[in-house]
Structure 1
Amino acid sequence: MKKILFLFGTRPEAIKMAPLIQCFSNDELFDVKVAVTAQHREMLDQVLHFFNINVDYDLNIMKPNQTLHQLTADLISRITEEILSKESFDFVFVQGDTTTVLAGALAAFYKKIKVVHIEAGLRSGDMLSPFPEEMNRVLTSKLATFHFCPTETSRNNLVAENITENVFVVGNTVIDALFKGLNKIKETSEIELLKQFQQIDFTKKVILVTCHRRENFGEPFQNICEALLDIADLHKNDVEIVYPVHLNPNIKEIAHKKLISSNIKLITPLDYPELIWMMNKSTIILTDSGGIQEEAPSLGKPVLVLREVTERMEGVDAGNAILVGSDKQKIVLETTKLLSNLDYYNSISKASNPYGDGETSENVKLILSKSVFE
């Protein structure tokens, strides 16, 4: 039996780790432990509850006004002292590109524990965008023993950096989580969810917006808000814009000040099950989220990516997504084109998803089992 630690701290990480935790926990060859750093406390707890994940170690790391330097140093120290020094682990699983990922990988490396990197090989090509995520994933790739890439493009990125050993293309676990999540939601009455969001007119075409990334703070977010106002004005009678507003004051204060329109609904951040339900009810999604860029194609939803660059170009190349950045004119133009041109809409909504078919977790377990036990 091999002892595995799944280590994560944010809601997106929890979502993408959940199907892996379930998959490995159901196999008698592995002893599974779960540790959270709680970079996203409330949002993380929602996902843990939804997927019934039991936590063995909870660092609850966040402090008011904590700097990136302090967070990184505290994570490395506490992961080492409070988790890795307590038990002998064979593998530490990290997912993605957060500060938890880099700190966890470095702490494991110092203890000579093998690091398994889920969603390996993503690259924007710009070390400052997204910041600090691009740096986190580049350095984690240097520390990891196993690299599980979502696409062939991700694998090629690692090969270009001379990382060729134990590199596997398996798809993205976010699709596994999406399918599991939608199946769980079926157990909840749709009537209950419709009552919860009764302020939204679902007889109209719903445009779901999520925007919260650091690179959109300031002028870019101002431009995005102006684009949303133009879209709302151009499509008053047939479109409802729904925006779960992030709690960060750089976003929240501006959104509530600027986005005043009868067909723009500003709502509180959504729990994961509510979010994927809302995605499924939407016609178009405007987002700067990485996970939603991967999930939306499985639901047949065109995505306009509110970022200047994305490390998920596979979706753009496959025709699932359009990179619009914070360009007001481009956002309005592409949204209007999707709303008015059915052929154009179908060409995007029906493009095949490059991120997998929901079997990624099983693929990861099979590959790791063969590498370890054969």
Structure 2
Amino acid sequence: MTANGRIGGDGMDDTTTVVISSPEELIASIPAMLGFPPGPGSVVVMCGRTAEGGQGPVVRMDVDALLDGAGVSADGVGDRGGEGDGLPGEGGCVPIVGDDGPARGLAQFCSREGVSDVHLVVVHEDCADGYSAGLRAEDAAAAFEYWLGLAGTQVAAAYGVGEFARGAPWVDLFGMLRGTQLDPDSTEIAAVYAYDGRIRAGSRGEIDRLYLARDDEACDVDPHGRGPVRLGGTLAVDRAVGAHEDAVRRLEAGEEPDDDELAQIGRGLLDIAVRDEVYRRLALRGLCDEDGRRLLWWSLARRRPGRERSVALLLLGAAAYFAGSGVHARSALEAAVTADPANSLARLLLHGLEQGLAPERLRRVAAA
């Protein structure tokens, strides 16, 4: 299979394609592609090409029954998962692990986007060596294979692992192969994402905490009140965008903005026209490592009050979304909504994530 990583530049198609040619490389690439190593109870799905020719997403889903030992098969699934699924064949004996909702939801996405094939990795403790754990991992993979098959998507391969670490075992859940893993830090996709400035974390919770963090002396009192901020005309908007870009350039040169300058920039971003222009430029030219925009938005998110913090988190979340990092995008956008429930653009992007809107499609709309 292939995976895409963005490597910087000014165009809309600034991606490099990484060819993954072995089970060991595919498994070792997952922590970099997700941004953290998924823990037990997870099924990671690497989607192939969509009908439009783009690379499909990498999706992690919780399958609770991998941990709690729920049933592994059921008859007559017409009463499971609600109505309006749009999938045929609701009957007969279906392999499941507890709630089959994650598999059915993924199948709906693959059907809608025309995903032809996927690779699965089931994360379950001892599944590569233990008999019972291995059977449970196989049942989880079989549930995904069943629902994806109804949607016309082939499961090209399914692997089971207990953890992601050099030398840890892996097993082919649908065959006889097994082996040991490569170092997750040694893969080509890990190098591409490191160049792009993506942050690797030890867990999903660590990523959430990253976007919720505040400096000890952060300003928590919003000086702008609750109403909208209007800067008063095109010239004022242009000046605010210029101030933002000037701070970006000085941060890239090693200069730190003081609190007064951060307050000015934060106030400017509360004007919708300023925010939208910064957002549009981000869509045209995504972030790279040591990008001054990233540094500026982190400073605003950690030091400024709720509404300004929310816009900065929105921009960090949009940058992650454009780059295909759904985990970071979700954490940042959820933190943006927490900081300011009225942030409608953050809510809209979260909805796009829920619906599986492709990053390339979002970028094209945002850059228009």
* Greater RCO (Cα-Cα under 8 Å, separation 6 or more): 2
TM-score (norm: length of structure 2): 0.26
TM-score normalised by the chain length of structure 1: 0.26
